[in-house]
């Protein structure tokens, strides 16, 4: 079935980086169509490039399909963020979708922290991400899902939210699965306020790290005094020597505690480079 979009053309964003002559991560190539835009990189520390992704729209509507392709070049250090919360409007009898494909090349690092997803009443959103790490690459990735527009009485009033994350490690021209996460939220068929789900909380953080510079104890340290519920797991995967795979999941009653937790972890990682 044809997936009709609100825009005259497909909504695509492509970003490729490389190491510049100045020893900093720079944009090698980029392409985007409405509503996407890219801010020029800025450098708060050494060779780390910080780039903000912008979507100039009131939110995703029925039929909107975003495609994002990112390649972090060899030896690059890149921190990606978004400008605003991802609002998903009422999609009526359809859905909105986003497909993200990321390649982190040899000896590169990506810290990707998009702002929270807010599904409006009757919203249906499909969000699928595929990430491949090459030799000695490192990743810190997260997403935050909210219950909806809480102040408008729309907690868990959305129709369906399906988010998947596939992470693989590429070695000798073959990709080996490292991590798969499948989040499916359907308030009509699942009691999301059940203590085994959200309970009394309304915001959910899913964070994954594959890095040489963080361990389980360092993440647990950030949870002391955290205003919510959280846990950290060490991931069982075939990682090269010196790497640690970690997954942190947290619940809170607002975005701010989760954003602050995410920021602290990012600062810890980048400070150890």
In tens, the pLDDT along 21-34 reads 989 999 999 999 99
Digit-coded pLDDT (tens) for 248-262? 999 999 999 999 999
Return the higher-pLDDT residue of 273 and 105: 105
Mean pLDDT of 127-131: 98
The band of 239, judged by pLDDT with boundaries at 50, 70 and 90, is confident
In DSSP terms, 38 is beta-bridged to 53
pTM for the full predicted model? 0.94
Residue 47: predicted pLDDT:
85
Residue 272: is its pLDDT beyond 70? yes
Measured in degrees and rounded to the nearest 5, phi and psi for residue 182 equal -130, 110
Q: How far apart are CA 25 and CA 111, in angstroms?
A: 13
> pLDDT band at residue 73, thresholds of 50, 70 and 90?
very high
H-state helical runs in the chain: 216-222, 255-271
Whether residue 142 has pLDDT greater than 60? yes
User: Between the ranges 5-19, 190-204, 214-228, where is the mean pLDDT highest?
Assistant: 190-204
Residue 44's pLDDT is what? 87
With b for 16 or more beta-carbon neighbours within 10 A and e for fewer, the 34-54 pattern comes to ebbebeebeeeeebbbbbbbe
Q: How confident is the model at residue 273 (pLDDT cuts 50, 70, 90)?
A: confident
168-212 pLDDT, tens digit per residue, is 999 878 888 999 999 999 999 999 999 999 999 999 999 999 999
Is 93 exposed, middle or buried (CB count within 10 Å of its CB: 0-12, 13-18, 19+)? exposed
Grade residue 1 by pLDDT with cuts at 50, 70 and 90. very low
Quick one: average pLDDT of 70-88?
Answer: 97
Please state, rounded to an integer, the average pLDDT across all residues of the chain: 93
Return the beta strands (E) in the chain as ranges.
Answer: 11-19, 25-32, 36-38, 42-45, 48-55, 65-72, 77-82, 86-88, 96-104, 109-113, 117-119, 124-133, 138-146, 160-171, 174-185, 203-211, 229-234, 244-252
CB 165, CB 147: distance < 8 Å: no
C-beta of residue 29 within 8 angstroms of C-beta of residue 16: yes
pLDDT of the residue at 8: 45
Specify the pLDDT at position 6. 55
| Encoded tokens for 192 | 């999301």
């Amino acid at each position: 079935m044809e997936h009709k979009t609100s825009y005259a053309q497909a909504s695509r964003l492509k970003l490729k980086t490389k190491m510049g002559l100045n020893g900093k991560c720079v944009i090698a190539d980029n392409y985007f169509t409405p509503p996407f835009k890219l801010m020029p990189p800025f450098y708060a520390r050494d060779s780390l490039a910080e780039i903000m992704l912008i979507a100039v729209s009131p939110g995703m509507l029925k039929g909107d399909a975003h495609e994002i392709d990112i390649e972090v070049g060899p030896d690059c250090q890149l921190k990606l963020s978004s400008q605003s919360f991802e609002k998903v409007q009422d999609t009526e009898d359809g859905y909105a979708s986003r497909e993200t494909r990321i390649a982190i090349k040899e000896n590169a690092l990506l810290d990707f922290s998009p702002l929270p997803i807010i599904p409006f009443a009757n919203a249906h959103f499909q969000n699928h991400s595929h990430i491949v790490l090459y030799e000695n690459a490192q990743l810190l990735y997260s997403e935050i899902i909210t219950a909806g527009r809480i102040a408008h009485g729309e907690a868990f009033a959305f129709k369906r939210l399906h988010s998947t994350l596939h992470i693989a490690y590429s070695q000798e021209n073959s990709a080996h699965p490292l991590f798969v996460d499948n989040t499916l939220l359907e308030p009509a068929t699942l009691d999301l306020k059940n203590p085994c789900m959200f309970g009394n909380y309304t915001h959910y953080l899913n964070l994954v790290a594959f890095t040489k510079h963080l361990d389980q104890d360092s993440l647990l340290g950030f949870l002391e005094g955290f205003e919510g519920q959280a846990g950290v797991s060490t991931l069982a995967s075939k990682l090269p020597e010196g790497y640690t795979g970690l997954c942190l999941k947290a619940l809170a009653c607002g975005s701010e505690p989760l954003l602050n937790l995410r920021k602290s972890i990012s600062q810890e990682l980048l400070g150890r480079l």
